[in-house]
Structure 1
């Protein structure tokens, strides 16, 4: 036990302040390596007028401010206090058994209690691990020394790392490099995409110019034909009419551009962070549509009769979402694989009174519409200038809303490409998503327009939700 006390006294010296001779309280370590209580060091430094030096080795410090509390030394001090308390209890406790009045000879490892010979032979300790008092004390001293050495090494290593400022430097550099790679990659993709758009615009302009020349030539030919004698005119009329019909049939393809797909890597994954779980409100649904029981799908009803092409009127055949948004960012996806014609967007009761381009009679509705004409799908916005065509349908549409900036964007989820974006909409009231599964094609029965679950993804190889 005497050896244990000597070891404990040595350990206590390492966790005691040389000024107050007590265990450290908020220990701080100065540049020379010595440690003191923060309050003790502060009072000592205040007394010295010209130079600030270590109270123990008298080495002058170049830093006049108190260092931060040494958390590692705080933990070491607390450990020393606990070990000191345990050893004092062991050394200052009763030296004999209170029950049998015999000297303690054994130590029970399971119960951590000293035992006399008669206690060690009792049934309750028959299966326990017992050690002689001297052996148990020796083992305790070894464990104490091992723990002390381990914490001392950790403390020294921590001091060196702090001095070298190693913590976090490598990670900061590596993470910054990875973000730089992503930025450079996206910048290259952006340049390629913008160059593709410029080439497409030039091609569209050349195609329209070429078609205009064909129309001009045909008009001149028709004018010349009108001056010919009746018999010759009748002989050429069939050929002229055929050519006129052929040129006019190509007019829509020449004037209406094709909606190209320009994938934006990682865009859908980024927007998915703002996914919201929407449901449709049967109370705010047109009688011409039917909402499913789970409030996730809507079908065009048999009573739907399209009598006008007015977008605002067509939007009356729709259903509103139960949710309304007046702040933040939201993103939702809609499956339209079973609906050849559809309309998606938002509704808001009113907008702020300010100039905003493309404002018209349906300014409180901002919609993307898909209309099928023969084998071509036409995409339009209301309001807005978009009027493009595609050879195939878009199976799933993503809708992104950012209230503060007035942004509403539509995405082709399968291709991770932008379809159209409204921006700087002067929202002044809550915004409600709107869904319209039509108008239905004559003689066909379309399936439902469905809200996608927040955790669903679209498989690129089969264009079906997983």
Structure 2
């Protein structure tokens, strides 16, 4: 049995081993006739394509037409050489008269592509291409290894897996023809790679349609959709396009070199710029590393110094508590020892009296009369002086509870950990004309009106004055002595706040103040005025500014060891801030008392001056 199908690749004729010689000759004659008709049709097609306007003229075959004709002739001539690949079996050969398919004896041989032909050359047992094929008596072929594996012995008969006929394996000769076909296909597959075929006619794509710019087969140009189009062989188009690309790329060498040099120059510039950027980035990284190391060393030094100072404070407080306890205990012990001494002396006298009385009691009447005849009353007998005062058991009371130690120490440390007091003075250029300064511009009080220049910095309505120093960052602490003055206000003010007219006392206008009114009411001038419930009337006010944290805290600084918080403002400070003193209004009496801006020398600061054990400053890299 043989199969026919037209696809890509050369066309083969596969005959059964007992195919009729007449049928085979008839099939070959038919194919030759078809080949000649295709050639005649193609010549007619060439005449139609190249005759202008359809008029009869001498037909001059172009190089493309000749190439196409040669391709068709080669295909036709190949059909005539089929017998060399598939020789006709000898009629004298013994064996079965059946073909590979039992009903294919009288069928017309069909064309078959290489791919489908390979599908037909598969062993029915292992489903792979035949290897050393053997032909059984029934006409079916199998791989030698498959037959051996099934029969286990070539002398043993077994049933054919296809037709189930009993055959003798010992009389199965090699199928030489089938082996040659397989070798030819394998050699053709290695030398001729698979070529694309026309999806309509299944012929090789060997022509190129110029108008449609498509690759087609020969039938597409004769009877297909590209009939009467200008058609050129693929090889010609390939050579033409390749030559065009080649010559288009062969521009003047100078121009190409110039462009190449320009591109290289641009690329080199970019590379150098990137290198400079990377070097700069690397330098920044190294500097940043060194800076971080230096800052870390400085910060560690600051930490050690601060904790050393805290330890010093704690040690001082510890020594103070221990000293106070020892003094109180020593006093109690001295008192007890005094009582012990007095009691000892009294006991000694009692013993002496007791001895005297015993002797007197044991004497005879005559001796008693002779020695003590002059004693006429009890008052003349030895007397014992009674103990002066009474003694009762006492216990040690240090004057504070154990839990109060931490709180007391914290309060005292709070004062010590504040920044060192600022050295501030009052600025006469900002003073109201009624204010008088004294003692190096540290004391201010209301006085007589004075004619002064009206500069923008001076207050002209409110009795206020600023310090000569402003703060725009950091932590700062200063103290103001208000004494028993009944009207005053203290705080800070923005440097840009207007000083002409009545002062608007609120944070919205850049003013943060607390004050005393009529000697009774303490107020904080926040967005809404807040009354401050103070139990005592402070005479010294401590002011602490933490610019970055946005805190302004007022303290009762009367105690030298601890600060009592009065009020804290929370704000986002901007610009320079100045300490301000508001004398309220001009009156006689307690309102005319001065206010003193304390200098560090005036403040009883409790920081220890000893710095001999400070940590060594770090060495910068």
TM-score (norm 1): 0.36
TM-score (norm 2): 0.28
Higher strand share: 1
